[in-house]
């Protein structure tokens, strides 16, 4: 499965980057490709390319604030969760997405 994600928290520091790291680790552990954009206090980092979005099977928005440029995901399947879910339950989150999409 190809996953793209955006992480963002209210302060734009710790939880943004911890959520990124946890999602990346869980996806790789389960054999999936993932690209994560962060929207922190320094702005957008590792911005998702139009090609990555186009090719993605799922978009994860792990955010506690409004994600900028959400229109990019208009025709995609999107899962929205608070950043704490990505931090504390990333593996379970990826597992639920697999189940929903019928992917293993």
Domain boundaries, the chain: 2-101
The order of strands in the sheet holding 43-45 is 43-45, 33-40, 2-8, 58-63, 78-81
Note whether 23 and 5 are within 8 A (CB).
yes
Give catalytic status of residue 9 as yes or no. yes
Q: Which of 4, 8, 9, 60 is catalytic?
A: 9
**% of the chain surpassing 90 pLDDT:** 91
Reported as a pLDDT band with limits 50, 70 and 90, residue 51 is very high
Cα distances (angstroms) measured from residue 97 to each of 3, 31, 46, 59, 72: 10, 13, 23, 10, 20
Res. 104: pLDDT tops 80 = no
CA distance 6 to 44: 10
| Fold for the domain defined by 2-101 | Rossmann fold (3.40.50)
Instruction: Determine the average pLDDT of the residues in 24-32.
Output: 98
**% of the chain surpassing 70 pLDDT:** 99
3-class state of residue 37 by DSSP: strand
Residue 41: per-residue pLDDT:
87
CA distance 36 to 63: 12
Note whether 98 and 26 are within 8 A (CB).
no
């Amino acid at each position: 499965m190809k996953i793209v994600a955006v992480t963002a928290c209210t302060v734009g520091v710790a939880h943004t980057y911890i959520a990124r790291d946890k999602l990346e680790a869980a996806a790789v552990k389960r054999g999936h490709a993932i690209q994560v954009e962060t929207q922190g206090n320094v702005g957008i980092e590792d911005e998702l390319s139009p090609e990555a979005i186009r090719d993605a099977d799922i978009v994860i928005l792990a955010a506690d604030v409004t994600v900028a440029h959400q229109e990019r995901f208009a025709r995609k399947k999107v899962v929205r969760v608070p950043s704490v879910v990505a931090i504390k339950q990333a593996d379970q989150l990826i597992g639920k997405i697999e189940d929903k999409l019928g992917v293993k």
